Amino acid sequence: MNNNIKKLWQLINESENIVFFGGAGTSTESGIPDFRSATGLYSTKYENIPPEEILSYNFMMTNQDLFFEYITKYLIHPDAEPNTCHNTLVELEKEGKLKAVITQNIDNLHQKAGSKNVLELHGTVYKNYCYQCGKKYTLEEVLARESESKPTPICDECNSFIRPDVVLYGESLNSTTIIETEKVLHDADLLIVGGTSLTVYPAAAFIRYFKGQNLVIINKTETPYNNEAVLVINESLGAAFNMKHR
């Protein structure tokens, strides 16, 4: 086994308060495309509009059908299954070593794998609510209301539209999630950052709240925090974060 992976597992075994901070790379091995790589979602325009524009608050308010068409087509993956990384995190949480998973993903795969303390910085497509009256809807209920001719899901109570509980461009992160994220990072002794290039702000700025000794980065490409890490592993998460290396 590669020495870096051996070192990773030594650190995990010696630590008592681990936090995992993950990005799109956590889910690519489950078949969910990432955003920013060469083949990622953001490399392809939709109806000649850049995805960053579609996934904005203004666009949702002004081009609803196209907004929902895009979300359903590209951001909802009901058949995706958790992978090795998700499953390893579940085991470490059960052992009491892992205190929280902080994720930039909106795909619910950590919960599907069985993780309990998951902080979703960008929300989740699995929760939805009416823009007007706030009535809550599950993803299944939303999908049942959508059709090809009418992609925008409509609330039964007030006829407004039902929006996903995700943080769009132009919106702020949830304040309760921010506070909890800062707290778990502050208390951690080992922070493992995986599958993210740490270039998306404000999410990436949270790394500053970590005060522990051991920052580990597992990512195929370089990140701005590499020189602060005690260990950098340029491999897939599935390869590194596998219990069989323990």
Residue 122 is among the residues annotated as catalytic for this protein: yes
By residue count, the chain amounts to: 246
Of 127 and 135, the one with the shorter C-beta distance to Zn ion is 135
| 130 makes contact with Zn ion (CB under 5 A) | yes
The least CB distance from residue 141 to Zn ion, in Å, is 12
Q: Judged by CB under 5 A, which stretch of 54-62, 74-82, 87-95, 132-140 contacts Zn ion?
A: 132-140
Pairing assessment for the beta strands 190-194 and 18-22 based on DSSP bridges: parallel
Site for Zn ion, residues 155 to 184, rule: CB under 5 A: 155, 157-158, 160
Cα–Cα distances in angstroms (integers) from residue 161 to residues 46, 61, 194, in the given order:
22, 10, 35
| 19 makes contact with Zn ion (CB under 5 A) | no
Peptide bond just before 151 cis, omega within 30 deg: no
Catalytic choice (77, 86, 110, 122): 122
The least CB distance from residue 161 to Zn ion, in Å, is 9
Count the residues of the shown chain that bind Zn ion, applying the rule CB under 5 A. Answer: 8
Give catalytic residue positions: 122
Q: Which residues bind Zn ion (CB under 5 A)?
A: 130, 132-133, 135, 155, 157-158, 160
